[in-house]
Amino acid sequence: MLDHYVESAARLSHSVVAGFPGPVRRHLAIVDQSRLRSDCLKLALGMQPRRWRVADVATVSELIQRVLPGEEFDVILVGGSTCSQIDLGDISSLAAAIPQTPILVAADCDDPERAHMILRAGARGFLPASHSLKVLIGALERVRTGGTYVPLSLTEAVPAAERAPWRALTPRQCDVLALIAEGKANKLIADALNMSESTVKAHVKQIIRRLKVANRTQAALLATRTGAGH
């Protein structure tokens, strides 16, 4: 991963900068335990005049502590050597604590299924470290403006059913999921759908199992990103 960043930074041309006109400054948070990777990224992004303002921390808990007093970021970049080393709990915690800020994960893709688990946990995009700095910049801009970034290699690595996991849900479960995505509690869902609260709980349990997520928060994030339940 580091080799790609260093090589890309060294070869960064004016044509890359020209692709993003204007002196706009984006506030980027880098979460990476590797000091060297963070420094190389800060150096590379700093070669773009007034483009990125970068804050770097080693852990997700450190970043959340910075956000609590009111500091805001446009994008969060979580880095690691391989996707197997990315903590799914960290991604879920970030997505829950700062839902308005998109998360992009950059790591070697040694396990495509793990990469998809990272996306299901709340990341807006996944960037294999084999991609160039120019692609990283594009991915950061894409997720910052509300899009997602998943390379074609990962899209092709899973069956169609996995690309649209909500298709495994019944119509009633889709109704429940849509209300979960709106942040409604089980009692309100029961009232809205004219069912008992125990039935809602049973549906929620099946939704979590069929979507292969850890909890209802992750199910809501997946629904929001993909339009599930609508």
What mean pLDDT is predicted for residues 36-62? 86
Give the chain's mean pLDDT.
81
Share of the chain above pLDDT 70, in %: 80
Q: What is the pLDDT of residue 50?
A: 58
Question: Which residues are CB-contacts of 50 (< 8 A; sequence separation ≥ 6)?
Answer: 23, 24, 25
pLDDT by residue (tens digit) across 73-126? 999 999 999 998 899 999 999 998 898 999 999 999 888 888 888 998 899 999
pLDDT digits (tens, 9 = 90+) for 162-182: 445 566 788 888 889 888 888
Task: Give yes or no for residue 204 having a pLDDT over 80.
Answer: yes
Classify strands 26-31 and 103-108 as parallel, antiparallel or unpaired. Answer: unpaired
Do residues 24 and 144 make contact, with C-beta atoms less than 8 angstroms apart? no
Specify whether the CB–CB gap between 219 and 211 falls below 8 A: yes
Q: Amino acid identity, residue 22? A: G
| pLDDT value at residue 19 | 42
pLDDT-based confidence at 20, cuts 50/70/90? very low
Can you list the domains of the chain with their CATH numbers? 2-155 (3.40.50.2300), 160-226 (1.10.10.10)
Q: What is the pTM of this model?
A: 0.61
